[in-house]
Amino acid sequence: MKEFGGKAVREKAFETEFKDNRYTHYLLKVNGKPSSTACLFVHKNQGRIESVATIEKNRGKGLIGFVLHHIQKEAQMMQLEKLWVHPINEQVEKVYSRYAFATIHILQSGHAFLDGKSIKGIHE
């Protein structure tokens, strides 16, 4: 998925993540084909859902909800004290809110190119 930096970036990340037992990866298939994915990272008694995505042609169908509910159930069985998500924007935050996640704080972040050209613009 291009949102994750493409194949090369994810392959490199998976090399590290698959060796670390704190990560559990989930894949939802539709008609036998990969559709949605997410990852649960657990540290001590807390978990964080990461790398949540649905392939473009299947977006907007609520499929990621099946993955999120599954992870929520597993977090309960693991007796995690907290299960966190870090939405990248308001649209994604609204998606999580449909699945019983509540916003407790909004972090303000910036980027070196926030007021200037984007990385793509610099390369052009």
Positions of the chain with pLDDT under 70: 1-6, 10, 109-124
Q: How far from 120 is each of 12, 49, 50, 91, 112, CA to CA, in Å?
A: 22, 29, 25, 23, 14
**pLDDT at res. 6:** 67
In DSSP terms, 116 is beta-bridged to none
- Quote the pLDDT of residue 112: 57
d(CA 97, CA 115): 30
